[in-house]
Amino acid sequence: MAKKGTKSKPQLPPLAPAGKKGSKAAPPPKAAKRVPKKQMLLESSDDSDTEQPQQLQEEDSDIDVPSDSDAEELSGSDAEAEGGSSSGEEVEEDEDEGDDESDDDSLADDFLADSDEGSGNLLRSLVGFTEGGDSGLDSDDSDDLEAKSRAIDERQQKAEDDAEEELKTNIRSESDEFKLPTAEELEEEAHLPPNLPNLKRRISEIVRVLSNFNKLRQKDVPRKDYVNQLKTDIMSYYGYNDFLIETLIEMFPAVELVEVLEAFEKRPPECLRTNTLKTRRRDLAAALIPRGFNLDPIGKWSKVGLVVYDSTISAGATTEYMAGHYMKQGASSFLPVMALAPQEKERIVDMAAAPGGKTTYIGALMKNTGIIYANEFNEKRLHGLLGNIHRMGVTNTIVCNYDGKELPKVLGMNSVDRVLLDAPCTGTGTIWKDPQIKTSKDIEDIRNCAFVQKQLLLAAIDLVDANSKTGGYVVYSTCSIMIPENEAVIDYALKKRNVKLVPCGLDFGRPGFIRYREHRFHTSLDKTRRFYPHVNNMDGFFVAKLKKLSNTIPVTSESTKASEGAAEMADSSEDDEDKKTVNDEREKGVPDKEEKAVQMKNRKETKKTNKGANITKESKHVPDRPAKHIKNHKKDALETDGPESTEPYVDGKEVHREETKQTGQKKKSTSDRTKKFGPKSTLGLKEKKPVSDTKRKRKWQFKLRRDWEAEKKSDKRRKV
Amino acid sequence: MRPLDEKETTQVFEKLFKFTGPNLKHLLERPAVEGPDPEPGRYCLRLHRNRVYYASEALVRRATAVARPRLAAVGTPIGKFTHHGSFHLTVHALDLLAAHARRRVWLKPDTERSFLFGNSVPKSSLARITENTKAGDGVVVMSMADVPLGFGIAARSAQDCRKADTNAVVVLHQADAGEYLRKEEELM
């Protein structure tokens, strides 16, 4: 029966035509009501048992039925408000309601346990309407017909609205029900193998709570708890290590975080780049498609890219591949070369060229004119690079095997037009290619990479000729999404060299970060571009294009390598490894004498004492001394006597610290002084050279002792 | 990296002559495309670690700045000197040869694979051959789509090929593009 259909889910469809009939017709409610009421009374006993359990299910079901039935089912479990309002609609049928009430009460108890009178009324009335349609018109209220039809429509509308609200409250009530698992629950879970669907559900729940925190949170549960639970869940579900998850949580909002993680779980799309030296994209596609490749152009942004959806044979095994007609390359690898935009007859350096995709792209863009220096530090990757270069028919290359930092010495400073630096990085943007990165990367790796990247970038900038007619650009790119490897490195270069950021020429991708947590980068960093797998469907990537403004190196960085180290210590927040390595540099480095002179001069400058004369004498001699000795002297303060070591040692420390905090100005002045100082020291050195080291040492020590004693005497005199 | 001496140069030219014939001088005297200089130089041959490289003069000049142990390649390698001093052309010379060689052989589509695996070309794979090929000529092997696949020495003259048996070897394999995948240690 149709009435039964209204109650239970599987029997809904039969209601539909009935419902439609009901809405079209305008049956007199009174008569209609009386009829179904009786029917319901008859059937109440049957339905009461089936009704209650089904109520709860009906909320969840996808009900594809006219709103009447929705309202019916939902109103069954709903709160008073709706019932009350719906009953308000039924004012017209006072008579019926009066009759129905007693019946409704009994019926309500039976099978609409939670419902109110009002909602019961609504149910009855709606049922009555649908039933009334079937039973036909036996009304004598033709005048009321219009009003009644309007009432029916209003009621329907009301019912629909109520249904929607009902759904919403149900959803809300579901979310209110989401509670963070307690410690015991977590312990239990820890003992069992990870329940993946559960984890997934919990992750999406927490993300939802976090995105609407004020409304959806549990009382008195801090946000931190939710975040921590999310972290642990993600770690066990996706398999990341603690450090990576922390960084990702800091970088992305909760919803996007899940998108990122999901994107990294997928397989990267396979892309090819047509080698324009040998073929065209059109011809290549025409040759590959018959071999069973499902290809498409990669996008509007590239004229040479193809993306392979699937293929019967591997893309690396075709005749065209062996003939060098295309290169298998990630889509993101196109970007730095497009940003570089090499022109014909230019001199280009690719500082980290292996496996050669970018180098060959550069060669193709230049049409084999000009010259490319393809450098690769790692010998083992060299043969792959060579193979690719020669297979693709790029003839204008010189392939060498240097450490990128040495290239300015080999090729000469300010000697080339453009440099591409696709820096070695932690590779966090390529997790989908290499899932091992999820667990193996740590803060130390990032710091080490960042250090190397900074040095390489400075070397790259030094290679470029700012006065080049057509060029003067450096493109820096990494396949990582970590800020210390990307924005921080560019920021460092902006401070150290006369360069500025220019637009990459890539109109898609997100601008880089200008500020991130406690870091503040130069505002032009929004010209850099970041790419993500979940946004661009390519590896996580970062591209920045720098233009060299002048060949002179700013004095702040030139004055001393020591102060450069000091500046680094002051600048960067990841101090430790920088300090360590830069200190090493300092001790081994060439400008040690200068550095010592600077320190001496600084001490003189900051401490206004009578030791002026002594100090000048000492500092004059200081550059003459071998650097090693001075190093010892400085370190073994307690052992060797002397004013520099004992008395001013404490001060010396302070002085040193002050020096590190010096501004550019002071550095400039010190550098000037060193410049003045330089020739003097070398002259002194020439005189003393023939003396042997040990002899010199002892002489020096004697001298120090004498000076110290002299000083003591003068102090005593002063005190007295 | 040094220029080749007399003996070495003759060896290289001999091998190349088999492919190019009188075109050989064109190989060395054509204006160079590479190099950032506005006036094009010429091409030259240089020897570095037993490999012979074909590069433009501009490139060669700049490559002198790179230290010998650090230099991996200049321009295109065309062949190498073996341990006992004979010279062999390698697959990297394919592009150059394909551009300048006089004799070509075209293979049937299904038989390309066999050649790319390093086998010699039997008569059954032969689709076309340049008319006046003589036995012992250098021959560039192409696919029907005019994609160079490798090179070798013609075992028979063009007329003899017609008369030959289906399984008779027509082209002796010297190098093929499949070596890029098969032999990773090629250039090192």
> pLDDT by residue (tens digit) across A654-706?
444 444 444 444 444 444 444 444 444 444 444 445 557 777 778 888 888 88
A269-329 has which CATH code? 3.30.70.1170
Q: What is the torsional sign of CA A196, A198, A200, A202?
A: negative
Size of interface A-B (CB pairs under 8 A): 116
Question: Does the fold of domain A332-554 match that of domain A269-329?
Answer: no
Residue B39's pLDDT is: 77
Which tens digit of pLDDT belongs to each residue from A381-415?
Answer: 998 999 999 999 999 999 999 999 999 999 999 99
A479 assigned to active site:
yes
Q: What is the ipTM of this complex?
A: 0.94
Q: What share of chain A is helix, strand, coil (3-state, %, to 5)?
A: 65, 10, 30
Most confident of A33-47, A151-165, A530-544, A602-616: A530-544
Spell out which residues of chain A touch residue B55, defining contact as CB-CB under 8 Å: 395
User: What distance in Å separates the CA atoms of residue A708 and residue A83, rounded to the nearest whole number?
Assistant: 100
Please tell me which of the candidates B116, B143, B188 has its beta carbon nearest to residue A382: B188
Tell me which DSSP letter residue A467 carries: T
Measure CB to CB from residue A319 to each of B55, B92, B112 and give the nearest one: B112
- Active-site residue, from A271, A425, A449, A479: A479
Helix ranges restricted to H, A464-574: 487-496, 533-536, 555-558, 561-571
Interchain CB distance below 8 Å, B188 and A345? no
A543: left (phi over 0), alpha (psi -120 to 50) or beta: beta
| Chain position carrying tokens 């939670």 | A114
Determine the Cα–Cα distance for residues A41 and A33; give it in Å rounded to an integer. Answer: 12
Of B34, B74, B177, the CB nearest to A369: B34
Which of A78, A97, A70 minimizes the C-alpha distance to A159?
A: A70
Tokens of A453: 């990247």
Instruction: Average the pLDDT over A291-306 and give the result.
Output: 92
DSSP label of A595:
H
The pLDDT of residue A561: 47
Contact A701/B at CB under 8 A: no
Q: What is the mean pLDDT of residues A76-94?
A: 43
Find the closest chain B residue to A386 by CA distance: B187
**What distance lies between CA B162 and its chain's CA centroid?**
26
pLDDT band with cut points at 50, 70 and 90 for residue A719: low
Mutate to test the interface with A, among B60, B70, B111, B151 (most CBs of A within 10 A): B70
What is the C-alpha separation between A651 and A636, in angstroms, rounded?
Answer: 15
Q: Is the pLDDT of residue A46 over 60?
A: no
Contact B35 A319 (CB under 8 A): no
- Nearest to residue A309, comparing CAs of A541, A540, A537? A537
Predicted pLDDT at A308: 94
B184/A347 CB distance under 8 A: no
pLDDT of residue A183: 80
Contact B75 A397 (CB under 8 A): yes
Residue A535 confidence (pLDDT) above 50: yes
The confidence score (pLDDT) of residue A101 equals: 45
Backbone phi, psi, residue A147, to 5°: -60, -40
Cα nearest neighbour of B92 on chain A: A390
* pLDDT at position A139: 52
Query: Above 80 in pLDDT, residue A245?
Result: yes
Residue extents of the structural domains in chain A: 183-265, 269-329, 332-554
Show residues of chain A in contact with B38, CB under 8 Å.
345
Helices and strands (H and E) in chain B: how many: 7, 12
Contacts with A345 from chain B: Cβ below 8 Å: 35-38
A386 touches chain B (CB under 8 A): yes
| Interacting residues of A200 by C-beta distance below 8 A, sequence separation 6+ | A237
- Would you state the pLDDT for residue B182? 87
Chain B environment of A286 (Cβ under 8 Å): none
pLDDT of A136 > 60? The answer is: no
Looking at beta carbons, which residues of chain A come within 8 Å of B72?
A: 376, 382, 385-386, 399-401
- Model confidence over A360-380: pLDDT tens digits? 999 999 999 999 999 999 998
Which residues of A contribute to the annotated binding site for S-adenosyl-L-methionine?
A: 352-358, 376, 403, 422
Instruction: Give me the helices (H) in A61-195, please.
Output: 67-77, 80-89, 94-111, 117-135, 144-176, 183-191
Distance between CA atoms of residues A635 and A426, nearest Å: 36
* A354, A357, A359, A362 alpha-carbon torsion, rounded to 10°: -170
In the numeric block, which tokens belong to residue B23? 């075109």
* CA A84 from centre of chain: 51
pLDDT band at A283 (very low <50, low <70, confident <90, very high): very high
First to last CA, chain B: 15
Nearest to B65 among A370, A396, A411 (CB): A411
- Categorize the per-residue pLDDT at A96 as very low, low, confident or very high, splitting at 50, 70 and 90: very low
- Mean pLDDT by 10-residue block, N- to C-terminus, for chain B (188 residues)? 91 92 86 77 90 91 90 92 92 92 92 91 91 90 92 91 90 92 76
CA distances from A485 to A353, A375, A397, A476, A514 (A): 19, 21, 29, 11, 14
Q: Which two tokens stand for residue A133?
A: 């349609």
Q: Which domains does chain B have, with CATH numbers?
A: 2-96 (3.10.450.220), 103-184 (2.30.130.10)
Nearest residue of B to residue A390 by CA position? B92
Residue in chain B closest to A407 (alpha carbons) equals B66
pTM to 2 decimal places: 0.65
Please write the tens of the pLDDT for every residue from A555-588: 764 444 444 444 444 444 444 444 444 444 444 4
Q: Could you give the CA distance from residue A404 to residue A454 in angstroms, rounded to a whole number? A: 11
Chain B contact set for A403 (CB, 8 A): none
> Is pLDDT above 50 for A20?
no
| pLDDT of the residue at B84 | 92
The SS3 assignment for A118 reads helix
Q: Which residue has the tokens 């999310």?
A: A230
Specify whether the CB–CB gap between A534 and A559 falls below 8 A: no
Instruction: Check: CB of residue A330 under 8 Å from CB of residue A352.
Output: no
Q: Is the dihedral of CA A635, A636, A640, A646 positive or negative?
A: positive
How far away is chain A from the Cα of B53, in angstroms, using its nearest Cα? 10
* Each residue's pLDDT tens digit, A471-526: 899 999 999 999 999 999 999 999 999 999 999 999 899 999 998 888 999 999 99
- Would you call the peptide bond into A355 cis, given omega within 30 degrees of 0 as the criterion? yes
Alpha-carbon gap: A407 to the closest alpha carbon of chain B (Å):
9
Element spanning A408, H or E: helix A407-411
Question: What secondary structure does DSSP assign to A315-345, as a single string?
Answer: TTSSHHHHTTSEEE--GGGHHHHHHH-PPTT
Instruction: Yes or no: say if A447 and A574 are a contact pair by the CB < 8 Å rule.
Output: yes
Nearest-neighbour CA in chain B from A671: distance (Å) = 32
- A332-554: which CATH topology? Rossmann fold (3.40.50)
Could you read off the pLDDT of A181-219 as tens digits, one per residue?
A: 778 888 887 888 878 888 888 888 888 888 888 888 777
> How close does chain B come to A330, measured CA to CA in Å?
20
Contact A383 B185 (CB under 8 A): yes
Tokens of A40: 């319901």
Q: How far apart are CA A618 and CA A604, in angstroms?
A: 11
Q: How far is A558 from chain B (nearest CA, A)?
A: 26
Q: Which residue has the tokens 């008319």?
A: B131
Which residues of A are part of a known binding site? 352-358, 376, 403, 422
**Distance of alpha carbon B11 from alpha carbon B81, whole angstroms:** 10
Q: How high does pLDDT run on average in chain A?
A: 72
Please say whether the beta carbons of A468 and A507 come within 8 A. Answer: no
Residues of B in contact with A371 (CB under 8 A): 34-36, 58-59, 62
Write the DSSP assignment of A621-662 as a string of letters: HGGGS-HHHHHHHHH-TTTS-STTTSHHHHHHHHHHHHHHT-
Counting every residue, how long is chain B?
188
- Beta pairing partners, A416: A464
Q: Which of B37, B92, B178 sits opposite A390 (nearest CB)?
A: B92
